[in-house]
Amino acid sequence: MITNPETQPTRGTQLSEQVARQLTHAIHTGDMRPGERLPTEAALGERYGISRSVVREAISMLRNAGLVTSRRGSGSFVAEVPTVALRLAIPDPSLQSVIRLLELRRALEVEAARLAAQRRTPSQLRRIRNAMADIDEAVEIGADGVDQDMAFHRAIAEASNNTHFTAIIDFYNRFLHHAITVTRTNESLRETFMAQVIEEHQAIVDAIDQGDEDAAAQAAARHLEHAEWRLRQAPTDLLERLEDTATDTPV
Amino acid sequence: MITNPETQPTRGTQLSEQVARQLTHAIHTGDMRPGERLPTEAALGERYGISRSVVREAISMLRNAGLVTSRRGSGSFVAEVPTVALRLAIPDPSLQSVIRLLELRRALEVEAARLAAQRRTPSQLRRIRNAMADIDEAVEIGADGVDQDMAFHRAIAEASNNTHFTAIIDFYNRFLHHAITVTRTNESLRETFMAQVIEEHQAIVDAIDQGDEDAAAQAAARHLEHAEWRLRQAPTDLLERLEDTATDTPV
DNA sequence: ATTTATAATGTTGTCTGACAAATCCATTGG
DNA sequence: CCAATGGATTTGTCAGACAACATTATAAAT
């Protein structure tokens, strides 16, 4: 029932999608500021010449994308920290997929280590050191130390002082947890592996400590190259078990 | 109007959200398999004892989460490749934020160039070359060539044959568009800048062509370092215009 | 009998109108 | 000045209808 050609949404297949795009654009460009209230559903319907159903569907998309929040009786508001949803395929747990994730991890963590060497604050450096000590502690009492390992790498990402790195690394860590566990629970190779890992970690931390960005990046790159090698060394039966425990990861 | 206590959705504030959770669970547990058709909206409304509006809103959530796709006249289907949504904060358009994005870009594109040098297929290499030619063409007719530039970098990411890279690069490209445009529309520096850019691009492509992964990574790193430098060289009035559109909301 | 056109049916997208539930606001009363 | 209360506003849900498109069954033609 498009009655207002002036503000008619741009062509597209789905009406609600067109409206959602327009509103999204208004938020992205700062035309509507965080915390600000959106026009009422009725008003938006009037403006675009569409029914309230379509407006609701459009707002539902924005809500789902984390751009707005709605409060019954009050209205819909631009989120205080607007987010966009980056839709990514769920990695299947095959060895191939895990290696693709390691490639991404290498890209991010090498650069994160470089930035950390440049910018880490004293307290961030302290936290990195503590995380490294936690790994040793966990290994000594017989645990696999995977959680501590991930916390260590996260501490480095935090020291990069660039939230993009931490956000993406957090996201992918969920899918890597199991893979790392596999390489650690390999009894025969465990001791030599752990010794390698600890030494590689130490090299990264030293470089960050000294503010040597190239050395930090190089140490991180070496660590992740070796991580891939260690994963490939894991016996085939363990890798198959990797396939069995498919993602029970929630959205 | 919950009439069927047997299948009553679990407790929660929003009816549609409860239904969405149930359906999501059914998909995750493999109760509904990829490609399978969901029950019709009317049937779902019947099953849960809710109106079609609520069912539609619930399905809208799943659609937005990438779990299902809907075809008018046909039905809604479980997506072939289920996705998860990574929600990231929207970068504000300040110079500082743009530089943070460039840092992320550097991390990804350096590694993407390395992988592309290892794995690019002949057709992928051809596409990269075409994209590079498109930039020249656009510049010659007086356009800024920003879109073509981004397409060029995307072609390289594709040649890495790792979908994680393309997905993330696509995501942040949206926010870099304006910043790149600023550095390009600077009349006084434009010619020298474009000459630099073209030369840097050529170096990347040559390395990828020859399969020299280290050279490709190095060329990409240099390109992005220079990109940051060029951005900083942009006259202050242009940069301020970049800052002006920023949210000055205190958070 | 096979293929092609046509009709019937089913499904999602959109419109309209109504009411419930929660919130907001202004007036009133102390 | 403050609190309570009532009305107005706004989102959430319900209900029914039609439009647009897809699928399937039926009929027609060669």
Q: List CB contacts (< 8 A) between A79 and chain B.
A: none
pLDDT at B156: 97
Tell me, in Å, how far CA of B151 is from C1' of D17? 47
- To test the contact with chain B by mutation, choose from A15, A23, A84 the residue with the greatest count of B C-beta atoms within 10 A, namely A84
Q: List CB contacts (< 8 A) between B87 and chain A.
A: 65-66, 83-86
Tell me, in Å, how far CA of A21 is from C1' of C4? 42
Residues B61 and B159 grouped into a single domain = no
> Which residue range(s) make up the domain with B18?
5-78
> Does B210 map to a domain?
yes
Q: List CB contacts (< 8 A) between B100 and chain A.
A: 162-164
pLDDT at A127: 95
Q: List CB contacts (< 8 A) between A61 and chain B.
A: 60, 64
Confidence of residue B7 (pLDDT cuts 50, 70, 90): very low
More confident residue, B34 or A143: B34
For residue B59, give the nucleotide whose C1' atom is nearest its CA. Answer: C12
pLDDT at A73: 93
For residue A14, give the nucleotide whose C1' atom is nearest its CA. Answer: C13
> Does B250 map to a domain?
no
For residue B75, give the nucleotide whose C1' atom is nearest its CA. Answer: C11
Choosing from B21, B52, B78, the residue where a domain stops is B78
For residue A42, give the nucleotide whose C1' atom is nearest its CA. Answer: D10
- The domain total for chain B is 2
Residues B59 and B178 grouped into a single domain = no
Residues B30 and B132 grouped into a single domain = no
Mean pLDDT along residues B3-12: 40
More confident residue, A146 or B105: B105
CB contact under 8 A, B84 and A249: yes
Nearest residue to D12 via alpha carbon and C1': A72
> Does B71 map to a domain?
yes
**Long-range contacts, B50-58 (Cβ 8 Å, 24+):** B50/B1, B50/B2, B50/B9, B50/B15, B50/B19, B51/B1, B53/A53, B54/B15, B54/B16, B54/B19, B55/B16, B55/B19, B56/A57, B57/A56, B57/A57, B57/A60, B57/B16, B57/B20, B58/B16, B58/B17, B58/B19, B58/B20, B58/B23
Confidence of residue B4 (pLDDT cuts 50, 70, 90): very low
Q: List CB-based contacts (under 7 A) with strand D.
A: A 38, 40-42, 52-53, 56, 59, 70-76; B 1-2, 14-16, 50-54, 57, 71-74
Residues B115 and B68 grouped into a single domain = no
Region of poorest pLDDT, from A89-93, A105-109, B10-14, B129-133: B10-14
pLDDT at B183: 67
Contact between A36 and A71 under an 8 Å Cβ cutoff? The reply is: no
pLDDT at A222: 96
> Does B84 map to a domain?
no
Residues B113 and B220 grouped into a single domain = yes
pLDDT 10s digits, B82-92? 777 777 777 77
pLDDT 10s digits, B208-248? 999 999 999 999 999 999 988 888 876 555 555 554 443 33
Is the Cβ atom of A37 within 7 Å of strand C at any atom?
Answer: no
Q: List CB contacts (< 8 A) between B158 and chain A.
A: none
> Does B32 map to a domain?
yes
Provide the residue-wise pLDDT of chain A in tens; the chain has 251 residues: 444 433 444 444 778 888 999 999 888 777 898 899 999 999 999 999 999 999 999 999 999 888 999 999 999 999 988 777 777 776 776 788 888 999 999 999 999 999 999 999 999 999 999 999 999 898 888 777 888 999 999 999 999 999 999 989 888 887 787 767 766 666 566 777 788 899 999 999 999 999 999 999 999 999 999 988 888 876 555 555 544 443 333 32
Mean pLDDT along residues B95-105: 89
- Residue B174: is its pLDDT beyond 80? no
Tell me, in Å, how far CA of A19 is from C1' of C21? 27
Is the Cβ atom of B23 within 7 Å of strand C at any atom?
Answer: no
- Residue B199: is its pLDDT beyond 50? yes
Tell me, in Å, how far CA of B79 is from C1' of C1? 40
Residues B117 and B230 grouped into a single domain = yes
> Does A33 map to a domain?
yes
CB-CB: which of B56, B85, B168 is closest to A168? B168
Residues A18 and A121 grouped into a single domain = no
pLDDT at B9: 40
